[in-house]
Amino acid sequence: STLAQSDGAAGEVTLEDPLITNHRVGRKGGRLVTALRAEPSTFNPVVALNIPSQTVIRRMTANLIRINRKTQETEAALAKTWDTSSDGRRFTIYLRRGVRFSDGHQFDADDVVFSFELYLNPEVASPIRDLLVIGDKPVRVKKIDRFTIEFELPEPLAAGERLFDGIAMLPKHILKDSYIRGEIGSAWSLDTAEKEIVGLGPFRMKEYLPGSRCVLERNPHYWKYDQEGNRLPYLDELVFVFVPDQSAHVIRFQAGDTDIIDRVSSENFLILKRQSRRSAYRLRDLGPGTIYSFLFFNLNVTSGKDRQSLRDKQSWFRDLSFRKAVSAAIDRQGVVKLAYRGLASPLASHVTPGVARWVNSELSVQPRSIAVARDLLRQAGFRWNRAQKLVDKNGAVVEFSIITSSSNSQRLQMATIIQADLKELGMTVHVVPIEHRALIERITREYDFEASIMAFGGGDTDPNAQQTMLLSSGYLHFWHLGQTQPSTVWEAEIDRLMKEQVRTIDPVRRKQLFDSVQELMAENLPLILLVSPHILVGARGEIDNFNPAVLEHPTLWNVEELFWSQQRSE
């Protein structure tokens, strides 16, 4: 394997082509404190999954190519430049020369090859691997010379270079041993010595205090410079304090214990806003992010006697008029007002307005109309009994349950609102909050539910990232999982469109294809879209270059550029 021909690396190279950034030049010094909702579970990019871990890891590591969170376009990172072959299957990446890891060791193609080997090895079972497996075949990586690598995709992939954003480059000299021992999964865990965690990001690990905080310090070997030739980052230290409770985040921000805050809930945002006149912080409502919440019905094919009542109800759920009526009855404005205090946007497409590049702007939000809903139901053969309850053709009373995750109060609120809305249609709805794992098990494995409210989002904005949900065979195709053949015409059509857009390199054509997909989704309502919450962030007024974006990580994506415009009085 690649490891066999290890350490053939030649001598030292000085940083010949640093990345020169283009932003306001800042001043060095200071410490930035921010809170994490949970403690990172690992510092190992190979196995890291949850947001807290990735938030920390991404400040300590770098990618070959990254997606600019603001423009949502790709830009050079460790790769100085890259070439894409005309069929979109082959990428040649030219590394910056003389880049060093935070321990001073030089970074070159061997590290890249090593990193991909880790990610791709099925034994390691890295969650990243799935990104690099396209149509059942993994990406091929080839070292051309010390600073050039060639990647070959098994199939053409539109916007394939976006893949590199999620893949951190790892130091071969540090991780080689544990990889050979087969213990890469538990390398760089929480009890690893701080010095051993080495990366290419703007910061490196200084101190980790279990349960309370982790402190990163400036990486002295970072490869970005500002226009005046100062090496980035500006900040001396970046501190993550672990604060499990949402409210506590706000409290600490208010108290000045933390300097930057993201993922503020709408209520808390309003509280902060009320006080911001008095205090020195800036709050930003970035508008809808990539998250879309939706109500969906169980359209899975189930067997077994105990599911008989579900199958009876599915005759309603499969009825498009029924779904349309439900959608028409939902007071999305009410949801925005009550569950998000106005800081959310009702949705027309499952692509949110936050993804400006891809959203189909032709689609419009369905206004609430009980009359329309009633008409739809009546035409579909539903009636109302004397007690004003909705009954179907067979005289069965329409009654179903909506399960939601008990740990998410917004979704619970939405369910409660929908419950009241549908009551006006004569439907009896039970809201059943259940604990998250139980919910997932019911939806993904047992298909034992009637309807549910969930939300998707995050990750890349590119349509490719939505395949798992949109393709009828996708494992996030929650309303009907495990299909070998598309079970409806429109699902077949979506499958076709999605497969086509993957292969289409032309961005305009791709957009057209994806617009059609959105239309089909909106017409057939497998997901009854609700709202997209706004991304709400805040930062202390003295933080300069603060340039939040809706993509992950909203406030720290450009942490190397942040600086204290005046030394904080302490």
Q: Would you call 149 exposed, middle or buried from its count of C-beta atoms within 10 A (0-12, 13-18, 19+)? A: buried
CA–CA gap between residue 327 and residue 530 (Å, rounded): 9
Using the minimum distance from each CB to another protein, give the nearer residue, 21 or 468.
468
Q: What is the CA radius of gyration of the chain?
A: 25
Residues forming beta bridges with residue 213, ordered by sequence position: 209, 241
CA–CA gap between residue 7 and residue 325 (Å, rounded): 66
Name the one residue in this structure whose structure tokens are 């672990």: 242
Taking the complex as a whole, how short is the minimal distance between the CB of residue 547 and another protein, in angstroms?
25
Taking the complex as a whole, how short is the minimal distance between the CB of residue 334 and another protein, in angstroms?
5
Using the minimum distance from each CB to another protein, give the nearer residue, 99 or 205.
205
Using the minimum distance from each CB to another protein, give the nearer residue, 371 or 387.
387
Taking the complex as a whole, how short is the minimal distance between the CB of residue 87 and another protein, in angstroms?
25
Spell out where 428-490 has E strands: 428-434, 451-456
3-state secondary structure (DSSP) of residue 494: helix
Using the minimum distance from each CB to another protein, give the nearer residue, 106 or 293.
293
Taking the complex as a whole, how short is the minimal distance between the CB of residue 475 and another protein, in angstroms?
5
At a CB cut-off of 8 Å and minimum separation 6, what does 364 contact?
348
Using the minimum distance from each CB to another protein, give the nearer residue, 185 or 541.
185
HSE at residue 141, side-chain half, CA atoms within 13 A, is: 22
Taking the complex as a whole, how short is the minimal distance between the CB of residue 457 and another protein, in angstroms?
9
**Alpha carbon of residue 76 to chain centroid:** 21
Spell out where 213-348 has E strands: 213-218, 224-225, 237-242, 260-261, 281-288, 292-297, 344-346
Residue 391's nearest CA partner among 403, 401, 381, 379 is: 381
CA–CA gap between residue 215 and residue 239 (Å, rounded): 4
Q: What is the dihedral of CA 156, 161, 165, 170, to 10 degrees?
A: 90
Using the minimum distance from each CB to another protein, give the nearer residue, 360 or 410.
410
Is the backbone of residue 133 left (phi > 0), alpha (psi -120 to 50) or beta?
beta
Taking the complex as a whole, how short is the minimal distance between the CB of residue 466 and another protein, in angstroms?
7
Using the minimum distance from each CB to another protein, give the nearer residue, 21 or 409.
409
Taking the complex as a whole, how short is the minimal distance between the CB of residue 186 and another protein, in angstroms?
5
Taking the complex as a whole, how short is the minimal distance between the CB of residue 378 and another protein, in angstroms?
25
Taking the complex as a whole, how short is the minimal distance between the CB of residue 543 and another protein, in angstroms?
17
Taking the complex as a whole, how short is the minimal distance between the CB of residue 544 and another protein, in angstroms?
21
Is the backbone of residue 410 left (phi > 0), alpha (psi -120 to 50) or beta?
alpha
Using the minimum distance from each CB to another protein, give the nearer residue, 143 or 273.
273
**String of DSSP letters for 346-367:** E-SSSS-TTSTTT--TT--PPP
CA–CA gap between residue 296 and residue 450 (Å, rounded): 9
Could you give phi then psi for residue 430, rounded to 5 degrees?
-100, 130
Q: Would you call 346 exposed, middle or buried from its count of C-beta atoms within 10 A (0-12, 13-18, 19+)? A: buried
Residue 412's nearest CA partner among 288, 293, 243, 289 is: 293
Q: How many helices (H) and strands (E) does the chain have?
A: 15, 27
Using the minimum distance from each CB to another protein, give the nearer residue, 9 or 133.
133
Taking the complex as a whole, how short is the minimal distance between the CB of residue 476 and another protein, in angstroms?
6
Using the minimum distance from each CB to another protein, give the nearer residue, 254 or 545.
254
Using the minimum distance from each CB to another protein, give the nearer residue, 16 or 441.
441
Using the minimum distance from each CB to another protein, give the nearer residue, 188 or 223.
188
At a CB cut-off of 8 Å and minimum separation 6, what does 556 contact?
34, 55, 58, 59, 238, 260, 262
Using the minimum distance from each CB to another protein, give the nearer residue, 218 or 252.
252
